[in-house]
C-alpha cells in the first residue's frame, strides 16, 4: 500500500522543484483574433512560447477533445465562444475568478456561523472559554513567544466576548468583499489570520478537518492575487500555475487520504457494507438520507466500490495531462455533489469542490461568462505577467509546501495513519481523512429536565431539542449544510463515550441549570421558559430509521438503552466537584 503515496510524493516533489525553477523564466506570447500580441496564458503545455497562427487556422485546426459535463448538458471543447477569443488550454484567469468566488462563499459561511455561536461556545462565560484555555497554555509553556508558538492567535492580547465577536463579524464582512470580486493578497491574508486565530482558540468545537482544510487553502490563495489591487481582473498579474498545482496537491491529499484510511480502517469498507449503515449513523442525516438508507444492499455495495474508485484512483488523474486532469476534477465534483445531497457535512464538500476548480482551465470554464466579460479578460491578459518578486515568492512557497509535505506523506504511508492532523502550528500542510470507522448503530444523548423539587417515579421530564441532531422521532431530519451547528456535531461524538470523557457536556448541563441565555440560544427551544429546571438528566437511546412499512409520521424509532448520567442539580456535591476539577462552577 505504501508504494502509491510514495510514488505520488516523488511526482509532486519533482513538480514543485520544476515549478519553483520555471517561475523565474519569462512567458512567451500568443496571437488571437482579438489582439496581435496578447501574452501567453500561463500554465499551457510548457514554458516555451506558443507560435502565432492566423485567425482562420484556429478554426481549421479544431480538435474534438470535449468531455461531457453534468450528464451531457455541456460540452467542453476547443471551439471559441462567439464574440470571444479562443482560449488556449492551460490558462487560469477565469479559473482564479471562479476559485476565489467559491473560497469567498466558504469564508462567509465559516465566519457567519462563528459570529452566531462563538460567544456561548468559547466566550468568557461559554462552554469552553478561550481566555481560560489560553491561561492554561501559558501556565504549561510559559508566557511570551513559547505560548504564542503553541497557540498562534491574535487573541492572546484580548479574548473578551466583544473582541471574539468583532473578529468573526470582521471576517464576515471581508469575505463578502472577496465574494464580490475585491480580491488582493492583503484581503486574503487578513481572512487567513482572523480565521486561524479563531480556530486556534476554539478547542474541540473548532477541531474539525474542514477547519484545517480552509486554512491550508486560504493560505495558498494569498499567492494568487496582487498585493494591493482589489479588482476582479487585476492587470499585470497573471495567475500562477504553480499555485494552482499546489491546490491540486491539497485536493490529492484530501481524497487519497480519505480512501486510504477507509481501506485500512473499518472492515465494512473492505466487505463493501459500510453504506448499509452510513446514512443512518452519520452525524447529521438529512431527509434524503432516510430514502438512501432504504436502498437494497447491492446498491450500497456498488456505492462503496464507486467510493473506492473515486478516492483511491481518481486522485492520480490530478497530475495527468489536461484531458485526464479535467476528467478527474469533474468526477470529484460530481462525487462531492452526491455527498452534499446525502447528509449535512458542514462546508467540507463545498470546500472540496473549490479545490477541484484548478483542475479546470480557462477553456473549460469560459461557458460561465458572458462575451462582454471574456473581452474584458482578454484586455487584462494584454498586460498579464508576474514580476520577479512575485515569481520568487511563489517559488519559495512551492519549496515550503514541499518541505512541510514530508510528514503528511509519511502519515499516508504509515499503517497507523492519522485521520485529520496538522504537523505545524499554522496548519499550512495537513493530513486528511474521513469516516475511517463507520458506526453500526446510532446512539443519541437526550437531555431532559424537570422543575420538580424532588425526583419520584412520577416525575415529568421534558426534553431539550437541538437544532439539528435527532431527538423528537417525528421531526424531519434537518437540511443545514454548509452551515455548521457545532454543538450538534459535538454531542454526536459524545454519545460514543462516557460522560467522564466529555467534561464540556457537564459544563453545558451546568449552563442549562443556570438558564444561561447564550447557551440556550444554541438549542431549538427552551422547555423551561419561566425558570430553569431543578434537575437535568441524560438518557441514552438507540435510534434507527423507520422503514417504508413503519413510517407514518415518524422518521425514527428509538429504544432506551439506559442512563448516560444520573440527575444533577446546582447543589449536587459530586457534580460541583466534577466541574471544579476543570475550573468551572462555583
Reduced 3-state DSSP string for 305-326: HHHHHHHHHHHHHHHCCHHHHH
Query: Which contiguous run of DSSP H or E holds residue 94?
Result: helix 93-122
Whether 446 and 376 map to the same domain: the answer is no
Co-location of 333 and 446 in the same domain: no
| 471 within 8 A of 523, measured Cβ to Cβ | no
Is 519 within 8 Å of 508 (Cβ atoms)?
A: yes
Of 312, 245, 297, give the one whose Cα is nearest residue 19: 245
Q: What is the pLDDT of residue 40?
A: 34
CA distances from 446 to 328, 488, 504, 538 (A): 43, 12, 16, 6
User: Is 26 inside any structural domain?
Assistant: no
The verdict on residue 534 lying in a domain is yes
Partners of 563 in the β-ladder: 539
234 with 202, same domain? yes
**Which residues contact residue 350 at a Cβ distance below 8 angstroms, ignoring those fewer than 6 apart?**
102, 105, 106, 109, 336, 340, 481, 482
Q: How far apart are CA 282 and CA 274, in angstroms?
A: 11
Per-10-residue mean pLDDT, the chain, length 586: 42 44 37 32 32 34 30 33 49 92 96 96 96 94 89 95 97 94 91 97 93 96 82 68 96 96 94 96 97 96 97 96 95 96 94 97 91 84 73 93 95 89 92 92 97 94 97 96 95 94 96 96 95 97 94 92 96 93 84
- Is residue 85 assigned to a domain? no
Do 102 and 193 belong together in one domain?
yes
What sign results for the dihedral spanned by CA atoms 399, 433, 339, 490?
A: negative
Strand partners, 74: 69
Does residue 371 sit within a domain? yes
Based on the fold, state whether residues 450 and 421 are members of the same structural domain: no
Which SS3 state, helix, strand or coil, does residue 405 take? coil
Q: Which three cell numbers stand for residue 586?
A: 462555583
Give the residue from 366, 399, 431 where a domain finishes. 431
The three cell numbers of residue 555 are 422518521
Looking only at Cα atoms, what is the longest distance across the chain?
Answer: 91
Q: In the listed set 406, 431, 456, which residue is the last one of a domain according to the structure?
A: 431
CB 478 within 8 A of CB 467: yes
Q: Are 449 and 528 in contact (CB under 8 A)?
A: yes
Asked if the structure places residue 436 within a domain, the reply is: no
Number of domains comprising the chain: 2
Q: Torsions phi, psi of 511, nearest 5?
A: -65, -35
Q: Could you tell me if 575 and 569 are in contact, meaning their C-beta atoms sit under 8 angstroms apart?
A: yes
Same domain, 191 and 103: yes
- Does residue 23 sit within a domain? no
* Residues 336, 457 within the same domain: no
> Do both 171 and 315 map to the same domain?
yes
pLDDT of residue 536: 97
The grid cell for 328 is 478527474
Residues 315 and 217 in one domain: yes
Tell me: do 152 and 276 sit in the same domain. Answer: yes
Q: Please tell me whether residues 387 and 264 are part of one structural domain.
A: yes
E strands in 4-130: 29-32, 35-39, 68-69, 74-75
Q: For Cα atoms 297, 299, 305, give the angle at the middle one, nearest 5 degrees.
A: 105
- The DSSP symbol for 52 reads P
- Are 488 and 415 contained in the same domain? no
For residue 431, list its beta bridge partners: 421
Residue 555 is predicted with a pLDDT of: 96
Residue 38 lies inside a defined structural domain of this protein: no
CB-based contacts of 33, cutoff 8 Å, min separation 6: 55, 58, 85, 86
How far does Cα 527 stand from its chain's mean position?
34
Q: What's the confidence (pLDDT) of residue 168?
A: 97
Locus of grid cell 499503517:
415
Please enumerate in sequence order all residues whose Cβ is within 8 A of that of 277, keeping only pairs 6 or more positions apart, or say none.
268, 438, 439, 440
Torsion of CA 19, 21, 26, 32, to 10 degrees: -20
Residue entry with cell 455561536 = 117
Q: Is residue 406 assigned to a domain?
A: yes
Would you state the pLDDT for residue 9? Answer: 43
Q: Final residue of a domain: which of 371, 401, 431?
A: 431
Taking the C-alpha atoms of residue 493 and residue 445, their distance in angstroms, rounded to an integer, is 10
Burial class (CB in 10 A: 0-12, 13-18, 19+), 173: exposed
Query: Given this model, what pLDDT does residue 65 score?
Result: 31
Q: Find all residues with CB under 8 Å of 454, minimum gap 6, and list them.
A: none
Q: 261 lies in which domain range?
A: 93-431
Amino acid at each position: 500500500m505504501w508504494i502509491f503515496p510514495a510514488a505520488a510524493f516523488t511526482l509532486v516533489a519533482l513538480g514543485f522543484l520544476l515549478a519553483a525553477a520555471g517561475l523565474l523564466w519569462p512567458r512567451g506570447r500568443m496571437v488571437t483574433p482579438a489582439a496581435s500580441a496578447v501574452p501567453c496564458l500561463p500554465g499551457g503545455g510548457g514554458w516555451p512560447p506558443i507560435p502565432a497562427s492566423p485567425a482562420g487556422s484556429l478554426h481549421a485546426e479544431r480538435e474534438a477533445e470535449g468531455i461531457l459535463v453534468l450528464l451531457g448538458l455541456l460540452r467542453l471543447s476547443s471551439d471559441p465562444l462567439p464574440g470571444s477569443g479562443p482560449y488556449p488550454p492551460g490558462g487560469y484567469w477565469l479559473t482564479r475568478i471562479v476559485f476565489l468566488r467559491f473560497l469567498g462563499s466558504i469564508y462567509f459561511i465559516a465566519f457567519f456561523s462563528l459570529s452566531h455561536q462563538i460567544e456561548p461556545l468559547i466566550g468568557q462565560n461559554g462552554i469552553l472559554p478561550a481566555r481560560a484555555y489560553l491561561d492554561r497554555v501559558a501556565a504549561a509553556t510559559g508566557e511570551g513567544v513559547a505560548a504564542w508558538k503553541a497557540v498562534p492567535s491574535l487573541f492572546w492580547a484580548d479574548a473578551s466576548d466583544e473582541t471574539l465577536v468583532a473578529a468573526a463579524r470582521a471576517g464576515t464582512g471581508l469575505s463578502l468583499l472577496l465574494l464580490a470580486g475585491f480580491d488582493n493578497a492583503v484581503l486574503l491574508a487578513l481572512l487567513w489570520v482572523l480565521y486561524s486565530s479563531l480556530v486556534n482558540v476554539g478547542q474541540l468545537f473548532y477541531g474539525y478537518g474542514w477547519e484545517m482544510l480552509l486554512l491550508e487553502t486560504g493560505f495558498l490563495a494569498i499567492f494568487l492575487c496582487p498585493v494591493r489591487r482589489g479588482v476582479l481582473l487585476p492587470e499585470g498579474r497573471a495567475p500562477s500555475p504553480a499555485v494552482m498545482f499546489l491546490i491540486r496537491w491539497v485536493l490529492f491529499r484530501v481524497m487519497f487520504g480519505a480512501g486510504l484510511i477507509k481501506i485500512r480502517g473499518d472492515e465494512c469498507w473492505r466487505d463493501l457494507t459500510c453504506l448499509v449503515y452510513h446514512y443512518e449513523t452519520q452525524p447529521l442525516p438529512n431527509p434524503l438520507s432516510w430514502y438512501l438508507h432504504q436502498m437494497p444492499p447491492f446498491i450500497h455495495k456498488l456505492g462503496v466500490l464507486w467510493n473506492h474508485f473515486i478516492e483511491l484512483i481518481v486522485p492520480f488523474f490530478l497530475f495527468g495531462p489536461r484531458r485526464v486532469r479535467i476528467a478527474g476534477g469533474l468526477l470529484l465534483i460530481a462525487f462531492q455533489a452526491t455527498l452534499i445531497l446525502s447528509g449535512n457535512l458542514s462546508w467540507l464538500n463545498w470546500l472540496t469542490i473549490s479545490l477541484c476548480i484548478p483542475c479546470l482551465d480557462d477553456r473549460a470554464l469560459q461557458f460561465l461568462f458572458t462575451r462582454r466579460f471574456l473581452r474584458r479578460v482578454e484586455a487584462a491578459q494584454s498586460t498579464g505577467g508576474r514580476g520577479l518578486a512575485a515569481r520568487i515568492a511563489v517559488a519559495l512557497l512551492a519549496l515550503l509546501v514541499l518541505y512541510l509535505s514530508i510528514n503528511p506523506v509519511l502519515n499516508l504511508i504509515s499503517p497507523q495513519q492519522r485521520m485529520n492532523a496538522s504537523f505545524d502550528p499554522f496548519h499550512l500542510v495537513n493530513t486528511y481523512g474521513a469516516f475511517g470507522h463507520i458506526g453500526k448503530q446510532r446512539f443519541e444523548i437526550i437531555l431532559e429536565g424537570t422543575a420538580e423539587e424532588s425526583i419520584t417515579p412520577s416525575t415529568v421530564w421534558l426534553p431539550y431539542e437541538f437544532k439539528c441532531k435527532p431527538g423528537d422521532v417525528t421531526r424531519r431530519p434537518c437540511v443545514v449544510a454548509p452551515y455548521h451547528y457545532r454543538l450538534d456535531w459535538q454531542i454526536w461524538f459524545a454519545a460514543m463515550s462516557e460522560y467522564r470523557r466529555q467534561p464540556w457536556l457537564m459544563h453545558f448541563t451546568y449552563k442549562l441549570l443556570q438558564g444561561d441565555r447564550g447557551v440556550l440560544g444554541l438549542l431549538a427551544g427552551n422547555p423551561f421558559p419561566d425558570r430553569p429546571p431543578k434537575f437535568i438528566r441524560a438518557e441514552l437511546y438507540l435510534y434507527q430509521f423507520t422503514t417504508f412499512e413503519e413510517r407514518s409520521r415518524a422518521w425514527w424509532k428509538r429504544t432506551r438503552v439506559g442512563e448516560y448520567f444520573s440527575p444533577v442539580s446546582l447543589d449536587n456535591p459530586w457534580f460541583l466537584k466534577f466541574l471544579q476539577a476543570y475550573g468551572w462552577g462555583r
